[in-house]
Each structure stands twice: as structure tokens, then as C-alpha cells.
């Protein structure tokens, strides 16, 4: 059969199928689902990408039910709740970071599922001055001393976040356990993954840290001229005194 005749036959079959409401629904659903898949290839942020995946799942499920195609229905019925769950997780993550701007200590509470827990004995050193800041920490239990800045940390405090984002990525003080400590930490790769999945998360974290840094500088300025000079000339070190 000539190729032109083949195209004509296929067009007639498609037109005949389109005359039936169920087949029209199947064709429209498949077309919309396919279009959403194509659009998702050009989306860089994760939440819109997941919503596009949800839409394509629904479209292919409708197509599979009408066609019918059991394999298509089973595949996208499994994928649909997974995509909805990921959307829910990322939306909640953004909302929790926004609420943490009011109470910064809440930041570690919802970051716990992404953090690794480790026990330290009294006298153990978590990191040393000048080390590369490749992790962000939360003190869950115990006391930690930052000897180079003369500061003690109590349970419930985040530390190491300023150096984590500093240009040189170097610690301005070492961190030593005064008592037995439980420390949670998140590595750079995991943190970047969260940011890539949801840019709003990264933006809110930057705002949170900027707010903490601003409060530290204002406190130093209120303490007198010497502290004000330190605030103007050594912002990074002053901030790391609060959370190296």
C-alpha cells in the first residue's frame, strides 16, 4: 500500500474514532497528558514539575480507562500518589521555613528528617578553626564551646550556618563538646538538593540567616564603640560568634 494511502486510512480511522464520545475523551486525555510531559522537560523548579506530573498521570489514567489499557492505568495510578506526596512535602517545607523566620530555632525541627544524628563524648571536637564548612549543625542535647569566640551553645541552637554560606567557607572558631552531646547535621549535597527541589526553601533560609546576622550586628553596636567597630569591620567573625 502506498504511503499516502496508508496516511489516508489512518486519518479516516482517527476521524471515525473521534466521532465517538468515549474515544474523543481518550484522545483528548492522551493529548493533554502528552503535552504536559513535553512542557515538564523545560521546567527547572520541582514544584511546578511535580504538578505537571500529576496532571499527566490523571490524563493517562483517563486514557487507560477509556481505551482500555490496564497497564497504563496501573502505572499512573501508582505514580499519582507518589507525585502528590512529593508536592505536599515541598509545599510544607516552604511554609515551615517561612514560619521559622519568626522562631529561628524551629528550623532544625523540620530539617530533622534530612539530618544525620551523631553522639559525641565530652571533650570531643566537632570541627576546628579554619576547616572547610561542609555541614550545618544543630545541637540536640549537651553543651558546646566555641573557644575562639568565647561562646557556649546550649541544646536547641543551630550553629555553623554562617560559615556554611561564607565566601571562603572557613570556620572562624573550633567547636568542642563540654558535655556528652547529640548533634544533628546536614551535608552540603542534601542541602543543595532541597534548594534545587524548591527554590523558595533556599530563599527563606537566606532570609533567616540574614536576619540572624543582622540581629548579631545590632547587638554588637549597642554594646559600645569597640563592638560597633567589630561589627563594621568583622561581620563574618561576629556572626560566627553566634553560630560558627
Per-residue pLDDT band for 176 (boundaries 50, 70, 90) equals: very high
Domain identity same for 95 and 115: no
105, burial (CB in 10 Å: exposed 0-12, middle 13-18, buried 19+): exposed
Sign of the torsion angle spanned by Cα atoms 234, 235, 236, 241: positive
- What is the rounded average pLDDT for all residues in the chain? 76
Query: Where in the sequence is the domain holding 149, given as residue range(s)?
Result: 106-243
Question: In whole angstroms, what is the distance from residue 55 CA to residue 135 CA?
Answer: 37
Question: In whole angstroms, what is the distance from residue 211 CA to residue 189 CA?
Answer: 24
Percent of the chain scoring above 70 in pLDDT: 69
The pLDDT value given to residue 180: 95
Domain identity same for 74 and 44: yes
**Res 5 pLDDT > 70:** no
pLDDT digits (tens, 9 = 90+) for 127-153: 999 999 888 898 889 999 998 888 888
The enclosing H or E element of 127 equals strand 125-127
The pLDDT value given to residue 126: 94
Tell me which residue of 119, 104, 103, 159 sits closest to 135, measured CA to CA: 159
Query: What is the DSSP code (8-state) at residue 149?
Result: T
Domain identity same for 30 and 92: yes
Give the number of domains in the chain. 2
Per-residue pLDDT band for 230 (boundaries 50, 70, 90) equals: very low
pLDDT digits (tens, 9 = 90+) for 200-216: 667 767 776 777 677 66
Look up residue 198 and give its three cell numbers. Answer: 524548591
Question: In whole angstroms, what is the distance from residue 24 CA to residue 14 CA?
Answer: 10
Domain identity same for 69 and 124: no
Contact (Cβ atoms closer than 8 angstroms) between residue 103 and residue 156: no
Domain identity same for 215 and 176: yes
Domain identity same for 91 and 19: yes
Whether residue 68 is preceded by a cis peptide bond, meaning omega within 30 degrees of 0, is yes
Domain identity same for 41 and 87: yes
**Res 236 pLDDT > 60:** no
Domain identity same for 54 and 144: no
Domain identity same for 209 and 114: yes
Domain boundary among the residues 75, 100, 125 is at 100
Query: What is the DSSP code (8-state) at residue 172?
Result: S
Look up residue 46 and give its three cell numbers. Answer: 520541582
Domain identity same for 94 and 186: no
The pLDDT value given to residue 124: 94
Find the CATH number of the domain harbouring 230: 2.60.120.10
Per-residue pLDDT band for 8 (boundaries 50, 70, 90) equals: low
Domain identity same for 120 and 221: yes
**Res 98 pLDDT > 90:** no
Domain boundary among the residues 52, 73, 100 is at 100
Percent of the chain scoring above 90 in pLDDT: 14
**Res 119 pLDDT > 90:** yes
Domain boundary among the residues 43, 66, 100 is at 100
Per-residue pLDDT band for 243 (boundaries 50, 70, 90) equals: very low
**Res 61 pLDDT > 70:** yes
Domain identity same for 166 and 46: no
Amino acid at each position: 500500500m502506498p504511503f499516502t494511502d496508508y496516511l489516508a486510512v489512518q486519518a479516516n480511522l482517527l476521524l471515525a474514532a473521534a466521532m465517538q464520545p468515549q474515544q474523543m475523551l481518550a484522545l483528548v486525555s492522551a493529548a493533554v497528558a502528552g503535552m504536559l510531559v513535553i512542557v515538564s522537560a523545560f521546567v527547572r523548579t520541582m514544584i511546578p514539575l511535580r504538578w505537571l506530573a500529576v496532571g499527566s498521570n490523571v490524563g493517562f489514567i483517563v486514557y487507560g480507562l477509556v481505551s482500555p489499557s490496564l497497564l497504563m492505568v496501573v502505572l499512573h495510578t501508582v505514580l499519582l500518589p507518589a507525585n502528590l506526596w512529593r508536592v505536599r512535602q515541598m509545599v510544607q517545607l516552604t511554609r515551615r521555613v517561612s514560619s521559622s523566620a519568626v522562631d529561628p530555632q524551629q528550623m532544625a525541627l523540620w530539617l530533622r528528617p534530612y539530618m544525620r544524628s551523631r553522639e559525641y563524648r565530652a571533650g570531643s571536637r566537632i570541627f576546628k578553626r579554619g576547616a572547610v564548612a561542609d555541614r550545618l549543625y544543630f545541637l540536640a542535647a549537651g553543651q558546646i564551646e566555641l573557644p575562639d569566640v568565647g561562646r557556649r551553645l546550649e541544646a536547641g541552637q543551630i550553629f555553623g550556618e554562617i560559615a556554611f554560606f561564607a565566601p571562603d567557607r572557613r570556620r572562624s572558631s573550633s567547636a568542642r563538646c563540654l558535655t556528652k552531646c547529640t548533634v544533628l547535621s546536614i551535608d552540603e549535597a542534601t542541602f543543595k538538593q532541597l534548594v534545587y527541589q524548591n527554590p523558595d526553601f533556599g530563599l527563606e533560609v537566606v532570609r533567616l540567616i540574614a536576619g540572624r546576622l543582622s540581629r548579631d550586628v545590632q547587638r554588637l553596636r549597642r554594646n559600645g564603640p569597640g563592638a560597633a567597630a567589630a561589627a563594621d569591620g568583622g561581620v563574618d567573625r561576629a556572626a560566627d560568634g553566634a553560630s560558627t
